[in-house]
Amino acid sequence: MTEPLRIGVMGCADIARRRMLPAMARAPRTEVVAVASRDPARAREFAGAHGCRAVHGYEALLKDEEVEAVYVPLPAALHAEWTEAALLAGKHVLVEKPLALCRESAGRLVELARDRSLALMENVMFVHHGRHAVVRKLLADGAIGELRGFEAHFTVPRRAEDDIRRQPELGGGALWDTGVYPLRAARYFLGPGLQVVGASLVRGAEHRVDSSGSALLVASDGTGAHVSFGLDHAYRSVYALWGTGGSITVGHAFTPPADLWTHIRLNDGSGPRDLRHPPEDQAYNTVMTFAAAARAGGTADGVCPEQARLLDDVRAAASRT
């Protein structure tokens, strides 16, 4: 049996506590061996709760020979810096989205990982939930005819004023936080080469960052896509596809609870019906996929540079409106 991938966690973020460390603890392919923080007391508290060692400082974590891979749940503005440092230290990297705040940085990091035969994965968990592969198969089988349109929406309620998502110096804002999901979904179903033909970003009166946005995109075959996202809304997480002969709608699209039975609403011309899908823990699926990539000799996520390009292009298009 292959030894579990020994992971060090860089920082004590909430998503690490709630989702990722529990998933890593359950996954037979991974073992959390250390948690690093610039605050020694916080590192000890966090590590004690998860049965691993506390490390003072991120640099010390990267020098730790027991650590084979690093999980980076730091604020978005720090992702590229510490991902690069980890790759240069010879560690595989699972990093929260977005990998970088510009396409040039994302491309450089993917090339660095490839050159060093290291796994690099952006933690966009929903693509590892099996129901989206079911939707892809429905499309490939012609269940709704030829695809003609796609839309996706991900919005969440307002966070506290001091939340990192509301701080521009830390890479906050709706585009880099919630916008990643519907854009990645568009790429997942419509393929590479998406072009942004229009976009808007809105900054609310009480925000220092964009609090909502939307974009229109077109695929290489002419299929259109509409996405929207926000940080100051009622919760909404859904995507839909329309074809010449019907439609598919998926709710709880991006952040379903691990114990939730989900549904794919299919209307194939004979009337709508729900296809039930059993519960899956997409965080668990993600860490298992990451560990497999690391043990296979290192695989860099080639979608990352394209995702970064789309984020750049949405921001650029919004600045022209």
pLDDT digits 0-9 by tens, 212-245:
999 999 999 999 999 999 999 999 999 999 999 9
* Residue range 5-125 in CATH 3.20.20.70: no
* Residue 164: predicted pLDDT: 86
* Mean pLDDT, residues 140-152 taken together: 97
pLDDT band at 259, cuts 50/70/90?
Answer: very high
Q: Which residue has the higher pLDDT, 269 or 9?
A: 9
Range(s) within the chain of domains with CATH label 3.30.360.10: 130-279
* Residue 1: predicted pLDDT: 56
The number of residues making up the chain comes to: 321
Interatomic CA distance for residues 20 and 12, integer angstroms:
11
Q: Cα–Cα distances in Å, from 66 out to 12, 42, 44, 62, 186?
A: 19, 21, 18, 10, 39
Residue 262 has pLDDT above 80, yes or no: yes
pLDDT digits 0-9 by tens, 287-321:
999 999 999 988 888 899 999 999 999 999 999 87
Q: What's at 216, amino acid-wise?
A: L
User: What percent of the chain has pLDDT above 90?
Assistant: 89
Cβ proximity of 211 and 109 under 8 Å: no
* Residue 276: predicted pLDDT: 97
Residue 48 has pLDDT above 60, yes or no: yes
Neighbours of 102 (CB within 10 A): 15
Query: Exposure of 297 by Cβ count < 10 A (0-12 exposed, 13-18 middle, 19+ buried)?
Result: exposed
pLDDT digits 0-9 by tens, 98-142:
999 999 999 999 999 999 999 999 999 999 999 999 999 999 999
Residue 189 has pLDDT above 60, yes or no: yes
* Residue 158: predicted pLDDT: 87
Active site residue 63: no
pLDDT band at 166, cuts 50/70/90?
Answer: confident
Q: Is 229 helix (H, G, I), strand (E, B) or coil?
A: strand
Fold for the domain defined by 130-279: Dihydrodipicolinate Reductase; domain 2 (3.30.360)
Range(s) within the chain of domains with CATH label 3.40.50.720: 5-125
Cβ proximity of 176 and 78 under 8 Å: no
Residues 189, 191, 192, 193, Cα dihedral to 10°: -90
Average model confidence (pLDDT) for the chain? Answer: 95
Residue of 63, 91, 97, 137 marked catalytic: 97
* Residue 298: predicted pLDDT: 86
Least confident residue range of 135-144, 146-155, 158-167: 158-167
Question: Whole-model pTM?
Answer: 0.95
* Residue 159: predicted pLDDT: 83
* Residue 302: predicted pLDDT: 87
